[in-house]
Structure 1
Amino acid sequence: MKPRRKRFHQSLTLLLLLSSLTLGLGSCQPGTFITPPTLELGSALNSRSAEEFPRFSYDGRYLVFASDRQGQRGIWLYDRLNNRLLPLPGINQPGTRQDQPDISSDGRYIVYVSEQEGKPDIFLYDRFTFQREQITKNWLGEVRHPTISGNGRLIAFEANRQGQWDLVIYDRGLNTPLSVPNPQQKETGINTNPKNQ
């Protein structure tokens, strides 16, 4: 290749590289804070109480968290699409502490720590059936920080059974109704008819 043609190709390559780099940097948009303001009424994401352990569903619509609002530690679910708290009937037991939640992909299952049996235990809450399941009923030792797989089948948590913190994985089984995001649910929310899963 002639030196003049070689320099031309090198210059063209460099120009294309710089152009793509400039375009790439120019198309990067900075992040934006979209947190709604704190409200006195208690129906908003933030209140005058401590809010902790936020966890999003797969598409970011649902945000589960722990809060000290209403005088006791409890689990709350915020629907970011409609900017409101959603009811969780039966999850927050009077006189007990519920904490450290996590949520499955489509928001169907919530796993959390509760002391309703006199010691911290891992519980699973199903938003379709409003039922709670105690995962660590006969577990000896402390448990904390549960997490649930996106499809809702596997639950992992930390356990101190033999003097050190270890990880434990619980498999809910092959017959577990799975929590899988449905494209049609994106705008309408969780499907409350189990027959349509």
Structure 2
Amino acid sequence: MATTAVIKRLGTRPTGKNGRPPACKTTARSSDMASKTILTTTLTAIALAAAMTGCKGSEPAATTTGASGEPVSVSETIEAREANFKAIAKANKAAKEALEDDQPDFAVVGASATSIQTDAGKILDLFPKGSGKESGEKTEALPAIWDKPAEFKTAADRLATAAGKLKTAADAKDAAAAKLAMGEIGGACKGCHENFREKKQ
């Protein structure tokens, strides 16, 4: 009787097949929930990292102020001035080759001179403040360009003046004078590179 009373107070345990208590599923369920939680947390972290990476890629490009006061892209400015110098080098090469012939093609020399003079006049506007290394963009322009603006202007003017002399010589079909002018153009380019362009390693 006492034993029966104790069983009643504790309650009757459910039994499974063969009279044995059923297996406990609590541990398995807890493990599944923990795995799902870890997976969800991991996926969330990956998504957040991807979003942050995307934000870095969308940072605004560096800008500076153009000659007319409008904001311009530093990277585009650097590309424009590099293209300008390449055009000068191309015209200089064409004039040099034309003058090397026994019968120089003064039409080519004259056109090259005009091209160089025009592009030399663009140089100053292609180096606005803020378009140097401080912008974070890759450039060979030295700080001296902005620290010594008068000297930089003199260097650009020297190139334009030499190109003008080349044009005059070409119009006169004077090969000797044209070659002298070519020497001045080369000197102007060299002087500018030595003082205002980063030396290549």
What TM-score do you get using the length of structure 1 for normalisation?
A: 0.32
**Which structure has greater strand proportion?**
1
